[in-house]
Amino acid sequence: MQLIAITGTFCSGKSIAAEFFHTHLGYRPLSKDSELKGNYYTLDLLEIPSKAYPCFVLKVDAPTLSRFKWSKMHSLEDFLSRDQVTTEEVFPDCCIVNSSDLESFKSKLAQVPQIMQRQLHPESDSYFMRVSFLAAKRSNCMKQPVGAAVVVNNRLKSTGYNGCPFRTKNCCEGGCKRCNEGAPEGTRLEECQCLHGELSAILMAEDCRNGTLYTTLFPCLNCTKNVILSGIKEVVYWKDYHAAESKILLERVGIRTRKCFPFPPKAL
């Protein structure tokens, strides 16, 4: 079962979205008598039953003057007063801006099921990269948080994040002089007291042979050497790092690298 909850601003096109999901994609309107088998949509967040998981919240918005025109109200002042009346505040999974013609709006709506699938049921790459992003939140480095995960045979072996080693003062508490003095990227690395997230994940995994390293930042040269020694066969990363030597070295030994952004677009 899939449930799309449509919310948004006054006269932004929510009813058009509901009609599109019903007519073109086969979604049925949710009601109290719904059996919760199949795909549904609702314009009323209060209708959502507690057991109707997963629920995808779609927000529809549009420029103020466009919404005023579509409302057919005579006074802009009255429209703005009506526009201030809001419903229950929720954090949407995706926001569609209805800022062009109707066909363009429908084209955006047609992308929603695919985005919903990636958001609610992420494929392996997205799942493991999101684990790396979550690990990065544990970072105590003053420069930038980095998270990593080692995966072998599609099973999570370990996670790691950057920061000063266990039993030492955290970087954010002054543990690393180099980071706290704001050294430019790639400089004074020999002074850095922080352990990188990739190396931390490799050390915690014990056996990485034929595995995949997921990391939020492309490995530096030192981490790259440890990747090679550990037997990892693939590096999946989100953000590039200024380390051309790392990419050359990984390519030379036959370790695959590819970029992955794990989160579907939040706005269309």
List, by residue number, the catalytic residues. 198
What's the half-sphere exposure (Cβ side, CA atoms, 13 Å) at 195? Answer: 19
Measured between alpha carbons, how far is 174 from 164 in angstroms, rounded to an integer?
10
Query: What are residue 152's DSSP bridge partners?
Result: 155
